[in-house]
Amino acid sequence: MTEYDVIVIGGGSAGLNTAINCSKAGLRVAVIEEHSKIGFPRHCSGLYSTRFLSLMEVKEDFYEHEVFGAKFHSPSGKVIELMRKERVAFVINRELLDDFLGKSAQEFGVNVISNSKVLDFSTDLNGATIITTDGKTLTTKLICGADGSNSFIRRKLGIEAPHKLHGIMAITDEADYNNFVDLYFDNKLYPGFFAWKIPRGKTIEYGIAGEVGPNNVHNFNNFLLKFNVTKYELSSGMIPFGFQKSYADRILLVGDAAAQVKPLTGGGVIYGMICASAAANIFKEAIEKNRFDENFLSRYQKMWRSRIGKGISRGLLIRKIYAKMPNKAIDASFAILNNRITKNIFENHGDMEFILERKPHAAILK
């Protein structure tokens, strides 16, 4: 008899949501997190579209600011401003969000074990065994690998690593209550992605992301200098993209570990939460049917791909085209996009990625 039905490795938003959903379904669940405090250190901007509200309630104390639109800056300085009458996104304190999820998990009966790193795991016909740094050996029927973009579980399973971008961000203690984010496009400085300035109410966040390269830190420092920023709190992380296998005998991968990330924005929290609920459903079914083989668990991949697969594949296509564009072509496309049609699409739909998931929108794809 194993101690647990599901052990979740990684106490980020994807892992904690999976654990909460599994526990609600009556399963015996533990979460193992290597850091001593859930949610820390910071590794996310916490900018989430209003769709976040359909997934969970935004608590007053982790809400920092709200955003109604964006100013897009081309390499040569052209600006397109897209604003809606209602808010399109929230700026959330991600550390407090994860801390809240960790406490909720405990309230739902999950054993949250922090300050404990998973060193190894094995599976066989009788169950799975997990070994941690604090000398514990835990047994379970199923494992959820929610251990982020550099997932050890994925690596040990021999699943090919997804393509990754490098993101760096800095938060200063100046106040900014503007209701738009600034996005800076330049394929020489932020290859394949962009730089950003996010108003966080009492603070401001500056960040860049792009293909991994030797100049990333230098380009980030130059970006900060544009705004005379010298004092800040720094953090960074990898952003995974693309489809990958997310199941094996007794194991499902969730969140960044499965590259469940929006290719256009690098946002992974909402997709991770959607997939956490799919993973919990499959874990419950596996326990009920006593089926732990990868053939049975493969239905998880079909389930999450049916929910977010279109958004990812269309986003990947657009990203691929963008990544090959020289700065001159980006500037030219700004001239084309700065028109009433683009503004109408944004004013009427707001969450561009949601449109990509639902139906091909000819005007946007063009």
Per-residue buried b or exposed e for 325-362, using 16+ beta carbons within 10 Å of the residue's own CB: eeeeebbebbeebbeeebbebbeeebbbbebbbeeeee
Q: Which tokens is 78 given?
A: 């052209």
Contact status: 6 vs ligand FAD (CB under 6 A)? no
Contact indicator for 195, 189 with CB cutoff of 8 Å: yes
Q: Closer to ligand FAD by CB, 147 or 334: give it.
A: 147
Among 2, 25, 35, 313, binds ligand FAD (CB under 6 A): 35
Q: How far apart are CA 270 and CA 274, in angstroms?
A: 6
x/- contact string, 181-200, with ligand FAD (CB under 6 A)? --------------------
Residue 352 binding ligand FAD, by CB under 6 A = no
Binding mask 205-244 for ligand FAD (x = CB under 6 A): --x-----------------------------x-x-----
Instruction: Determine the Cα–Cα distance for residues 297 and 164; give it in Å rounded to an integer.
Output: 26
Site string for ligand FAD, 143-182 (x = CB under 6 A): ---xxx---x--------------x-x-------------
Nearest to 62 by CA among 88, 97, 89: 97
If the CB atoms of residues 268 and 311 are measured against ligand FAD, the closer one turns out to be 268
Token pair 């859930």: residue: 38
User: Of 127 and 148, which has the nearer Cβ to ligand FAD?
Assistant: 148
Size, binding site for ligand FAD by CB under 6 A:
38
Distance CA 218, CA 141 (A): 47
Q: What is the dihedral of CA 53, 12, 288, 306, to 10 degrees?
A: 60
Q: How far is the CB of 91 from ligand FAD (least distance, A)?
A: 8
149 vs 187, beta carbon nearer ligand FAD: 149
Distance from chain centroid for Cα 140: 27
Among 32, 67, 275, 312, binds ligand FAD (CB under 6 A): 32
Of positions 272, 311, 315, 350, contacts ligand FAD by CB under 6 A: 272
CA 332 to chain centre: 31
Instruction: Confirm if 138 and 49 have CB atoms less than 8 A apart.
Output: no
Q: Which stretch binds ligand FAD (CB under 6 A): 78-86, 121-129, 136-144, 266-274?
A: 266-274
In this structure, the dihedral spanned by the alpha carbons of residues 17, 159, 245 and 137, taken in order and rounded to 10 degrees, is: -40
Only one of the segments 75-83, 251-259, 286-294, 313-321 lies at the binding site for ligand FAD (rule: CB under 6 A); that segment is: 251-259
Residue numbers of the site for ligand FAD (CB under 6 A)? 9-15, 32-35, 43-48, 117-118, 146-148, 152, 167, 169, 207, 237, 239, 255-257, 261, 266-270, 272
